[in-house]
């Protein structure tokens, strides 16, 4: 198979590595890719939101399958663009149609979906300028902390958690007035859930599914989960608190009803469903849906998948996942993310990266890297993820952190406490 993988982060490097293990792969292209993904295929500079260009390029290169890493092309309708054209509809697309991607693209849409299919989630109210008074009364009649979510995509920044009622009312007005642009013209106010978060991933063909390894990511920049939110500073798979019993509840009450809901709504959904969950008093609740894999979760989830991932994705695109089994490495994988000094606020790029080990039992996943005048340099906030295996997360993290110490670039920072709460 000739495959085009869209995206250029650690997630895509990790997917590329798994694809390259398959005997089914002929040629892999990654757009735009990074300095690590080029070990497994050819990086190409295509605008991943220019669907006409992607279609004509894919025809020229005889692409059989397009795997979409990030959410933006999905929400913008890349699936529909490829499948709606006689010339390209033979190409498999891993990633849902635009209507399925609304599960990530609109929080209000996702809440209505969960309510329709009885999927456990926090109580909520949808607010626009038209029912602002109702929104204010909702805040006044509940106690903090309040969770305010911009409805649309806001690069992971659109969720505010506020203790004080007056402050929450003020923020609600600010959001509706355009704090996050169009994305916050609608706001979802949610009941605050107190518990520990984890992420469950399924690959679906729109009616059946396989569950991928479960993971937990660490979003805050500071140790002890403090400071600003980032794309993700590390991950562990599996987190030990996700017992078989909890996972069974997740599958029965959440994964299966979600896929049944997708089927009932008639969405063309071939791809990944990423369910952000929280455990409250032993019971799982949905925090959010994403229509793609997570980053850095993919850097611990994909290395644990021992089955041929191209076989799995092909089964998804043919609608035959019911017959698929997935084999998972029982060891624990843990990832530590090296980031640029200053991230997630302003940071510098172009710093020379040295001491990257060429042989080790760990896996080095590039995120924001590129090659400039034959030197590996930083090109983003999140620079490199180091994934190691162990009997448990502690053992895995000893290896990952020793390599995190070794690799050097000016301003390097990483969290030394990944897994501290497990």
Select from 58-66, 189-197, 307-315, 323-331 the region that touches ligand AMP (CB under 6 A).
189-197
Q: Which does 80 bind (CB under 5 to 8 A by kind): ligand AMP, ligand GLY, none?
A: none
Among 232, 238, 257, 303, binds ligand GLY (CB under 6 A): 232
Q: Is 380 in the site for ligand GLY (CB under 6 A)?
A: no
CA angle, 23 then 26 then 31, to 5°: 120
Q: Is 114 in the site for ligand AMP (CB under 6 A)?
A: no
CA angle, 121 then 15 then 374, to 5°: 130
d(CA 256, CA 331): 26
Select from 61-69, 178-186, 187-195, 396-404 the region that touches ligand AMP (CB under 6 A).
187-195
d(CA 33, CA 29): 8
Q: Which does 197 bind (CB under 5 to 8 A by kind): ligand AMP, ligand GLY, none?
A: ligand AMP
The answer to whether 315 and 321 are in contact (CB under 8 A) is yes
In terms of CB distance, is 70 or 257 closer to ligand GLY?
A: 70
Exposed / middle / buried, residue 189 (Cβ in 10 Å: 0-12, 13-18, 19+): buried
Q: Is 110 in the site for ligand AMP (CB under 6 A)?
A: no
Residues linked to residue 27 through DSSP beta bridges, in sequence order: 2
State the number of binding residues for ligand GLY (CB under 6 A). Answer: 6
Positions 146 through 165 that interact with ligand AMP (CB under 6 A): 147, 149, 159
Q: Is 280 in the site for ligand AMP (CB under 6 A)?
A: no
For 109, 160, 195, the CA distances from 133, given in Å and listed in that order, are 21, 19, 30
Q: Is 104 in the site for ligand GLY (CB under 6 A)?
A: no
Q: Is 139 in the site for ligand AMP (CB under 6 A)?
A: no
Exposed / middle / buried, residue 87 (Cβ in 10 Å: 0-12, 13-18, 19+): exposed
Among 85, 167, 197, 223, binds ligand AMP (CB under 6 A): 197
Residue the block writes with tokens 């979906």 = 113
Say what angle helices 165-176 and 132-140 make with each other, to 10 degrees: 160
Q: Is 290 in the site for ligand GLY (CB under 6 A)?
A: yes
Among 31, 255, 287, 377, binds ligand AMP (CB under 6 A): 287
Q: Which residues bind ligand AMP (CB under 6 A)?
A: 122, 147, 149, 159, 190, 192-193, 197, 276, 287-288
């Amino acid at each position: 198979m000739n495959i085009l993988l869209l995206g250029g982060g650690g997630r895509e490097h990790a997917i590329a590595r798994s694809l390259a293990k398959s005997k089914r792969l002929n040629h892999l292209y990654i757009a735009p890719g990074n300095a690590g993904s080029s070990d497994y295929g050819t990086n190409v500079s295509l605008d991943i939101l220019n669907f006409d260009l992607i279609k004509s390029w894919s025809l020229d290169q005889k692409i059989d399958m397009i795997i979409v890493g990030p959410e933006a092309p999905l929400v913008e309708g890349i699936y529909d663009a490829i499948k709606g054209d006689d010339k390209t509809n033979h190409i498999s697309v891993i990633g849902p149609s635009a209507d399925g991607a609304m599960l990530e693209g609109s929080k209000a849409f996702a809440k209505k979906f969960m309510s329709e299919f009885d999927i456990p989630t926090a109580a909520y109210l949808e607010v626009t300028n038209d029912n602002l008074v109702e929104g204010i009364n909702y805040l006044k009649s509940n106690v903090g902390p309040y969770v305010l979510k911009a409805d649309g995509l806001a690069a992971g920044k659109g969720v505010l958690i506020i203790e004080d009622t007056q402050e929450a009312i003020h923020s609600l007005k600010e959001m509706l007035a355009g704090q996050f642009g169009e994305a916050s013209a609608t706001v979802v106010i949610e009941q605050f859930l107190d518990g520990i978060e984890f992420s469950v991933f399924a690959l679906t063909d729109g009616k059946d599914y396989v569950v991928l390894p479960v993971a937990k990511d660490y979003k805050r920049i500071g140790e002890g989960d403090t400071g600003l939110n980032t794309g993700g500073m590390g991950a562990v798979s599996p987190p030990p608190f996700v017992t078989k019993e909890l996972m069974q509840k997740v599958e029965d009450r959440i994964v299966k009803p979600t896929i049944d809901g997708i089927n009932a709504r008639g969405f063309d959904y071939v791809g990944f469903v990423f369910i952000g969950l929280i455990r409250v008093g032993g019971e799982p609740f949905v925090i959010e849906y994403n229509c793609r894999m997570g980053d850095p979760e993919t850097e611990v989830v994909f290395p644990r998948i021992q089955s041929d991932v191209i076989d799995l994705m092909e089964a998804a695109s043919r609608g035959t996942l019911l017959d698929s089994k997935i084999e998972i490495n029982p060891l624990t994988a843990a990832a530590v993310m090296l980031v640029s000094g200053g991230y997630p606020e302003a940071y510098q790029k172009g710093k020379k990266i040295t001491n990257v080990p060429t042989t080790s039992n760990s896996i080095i996943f590039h995120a924001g890297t590129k090659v400039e005048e034959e030197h590996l340099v930083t090109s983003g906030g999140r620079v490199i993820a180091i994934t190691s295996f162990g009997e448990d997360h502690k053992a895995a993290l000893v290896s990952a952190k020793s390599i995190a110490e070794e690799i050097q670039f000016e301003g390097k920072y990483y969290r030394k406490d990944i897994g501290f709460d497990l």
